[in-house]
Amino acid sequence: MDRLRSQLAAVESLPNKLSGAWVFRGTRVPVAALFENLRDGATIDQFLEWFPGVARADVDAVLAYEVALLTTTDAA
C-alpha cells in the first residue's frame, strides 16, 4: 500500500485547477490525457513530447498505479 501512496505523489486534484480533474503534479495536464492518447495509439514517448512538463517517472507511476488497481480488483 505504501508503494501505491508514493505513486499517487505523481498526481494531484485541486478544485481551482481544471475543476478538480486529476492532473500530473505541477502541471495542468490531465491524467485522462495520458490514457486517451494511449488508447488512440500514441506511445509514451509521443505523449511526453507533446506534454513536455510531464516527467517519464510520473507517467510510469500512474501506469503502475493503474495496473495495481486492476490487479487488486481482479483478485477480489
pLDDT on residue 72:
80
| pLDDT tens, N- to C-terminus, the chain (76 residues) | 455 555 688 999 999 999 999 999 999 999 999 999 999 999 999 999 999 999 999 999 999 989 988 888 665 5
Beta strand spans in 1-76 (E):
11-12, 23-24
pLDDT on residue 75:
59
We find that the CATH architecture of domain 2-75 is Orthogonal Bundle (1.10)
Q: What would the grid cell of residue 12 be?
A: 494531484
Alpha helix segments (H runs only) across 9-55: 31-39, 44-50
pLDDT on residue 8:
81
Domain boundaries, the chain: 2-75
pLDDT on residue 1:
46
